[in-house]
Amino acid sequence: MQDNHGHKISYLRVSITDRCNERCGYCMPSELQEWLPREGVLSYEEILRVVGIAAGMGITKVRVTGGEPLTRRDIIPFLGRLCSIAGISEVGVSTNGTLLSKTVPGFATTAGALLAAGVRSVNISLDTLDSEAYAATTGRDYFGRVMSGINDALGAGFERIKLNAVLMRGRSEGQLLPLVEFANEKGLLLRFIELMPVSSGDVLSESSFFPTATARRSLEEVFGKLQPRADFRTNGPASYFAVPGRDQLVGFIGAMTNLHFCETCNKLRLTCDGKLRPCLGSHLEFDLMKEIRGGASDKQIVEFIEHVVRRKPMAHDFRENYQPGRKMIAIGG
């Protein structure tokens, strides 16, 4: 599948819920959150049908996200079915890590159950190693849970565990080095992510923005010049650099400042309320749930997906005076 700008589409990010057990200000509105009613969210059966059809069109990788995907009931059997769809070679999960240690029927930890279901990689969000700062960022005092979740994920034996840290001025400065050291110690692939304008304006003001280049320079003061590793890519848009004298790579996701950011985009997004989005940083979205629930045939869904791919923009609109529309939690990060 290819769009009109030469992007080859092979990756579907699927949000399975808009609910979350944390309250990160950059992701959800500060006013009281109103969750979607159950019937407003795609059922597992509906998602599996869409992924099955998309797999026949060239989608090979799926990442399950939310909200917090591990808060949705019966996620493990769903993931097992997702992983066994013909043509899907890799399924990953993005999580805040707080529920990875939770016991689930038949498994000592959710991390172990995810691996047994066939999930190959987990991305865990962690912006800070300071438990008080963690609580201030996420609105929850769950730092200990995340640490234990990371350890259980490491114990489970995933192919790859990534750590995602959102950069914010006034919060990230003292955390860059501890996060790099922590990732190195644990063998995790750390990525620093620029804040994107997908939440309330107050959190996303100019004064909160912390560019990846500043983070890199600050690490270079400690480690010396980081070596670009253009040859190393994961499925996403991170640029990786090697830390001198170490067997460690650190990724930078410069959504706002990297002008080449969109060139390698291979992604479509399915929101939990059934909208297919060709780009996170564009307000374009197409109502796939309406098609599915209106009785669309598989052929009609193929045509629908092809139409959305044709509408994929060359690049996101974040730099073009973009006004936050749907929050990250409602789109799926």
Q: Which residues bind ligand SAM (CB under 6 A)?
A: 20, 26-27, 65-66, 68, 94-96, 125, 164, 166, 193, 195-196, 198-199, 328-329, 333
For residues 111 and 117, give the distance between their C-alpha atoms in angstroms, rounded to a whole number.
10
Min separation Cβ 12 and ligand SF4, Å: 18
Q: What torsion do the CA atoms of 42, 302, 333, 80 make, to the nearest 10 degrees?
A: 60
For residues 194 and 215, give the distance between their C-alpha atoms in angstroms, rounded to a whole number.
10
Q: Which of 136, 131, 186, 135 is nearest to 163 (CA)?
A: 186
Task: Give the per-residue SS3 of 6-41.
Answer: CCECCEEEEECCCCCCCCCCCCCCCCCCCCCCHHHC
Q: Does 66 bind ligand SF4 (CB under 6 A)?
A: yes
198 touches which of ligand SF4, ligand SAM, none (CB within 5 to 8 A by kind)? ligand SAM
Q: Does 24 bind ligand SF4 (CB under 6 A)?
A: yes
Min separation Cβ 199 and ligand SF4, Å: 9
Return the SS3 of 284: coil
- Give the nearest residue (CB) to ligand SAM: 333
Q: Given its phi and psi angles, is residue 319 left (phi above 0), alpha (psi -120 to 50 degrees) or beta?
A: alpha
For residues 52 and 71, give the distance between their C-alpha atoms in angstroms, rounded to a whole number.
24
Judged by beta carbon, residue 3 or residue 162, the one nearer ligand SAM is 162
Site mask, ligand SF4, residues 122-151, x = CB under 6 A? ---x------------x-------------
Q: Does 75 bind ligand SF4 (CB under 6 A)?
A: no
Min separation Cβ 328 and ligand SAM, Å: 4
Min separation Cβ 260 and ligand SF4, Å: 25
Name residue 7's amino acid.
Answer: H
Which residues would be at the binding site for ligand SF4 (CB under 6 A)?
A: 20, 22-24, 27-28, 66-68, 96, 125, 138, 328-329, 333
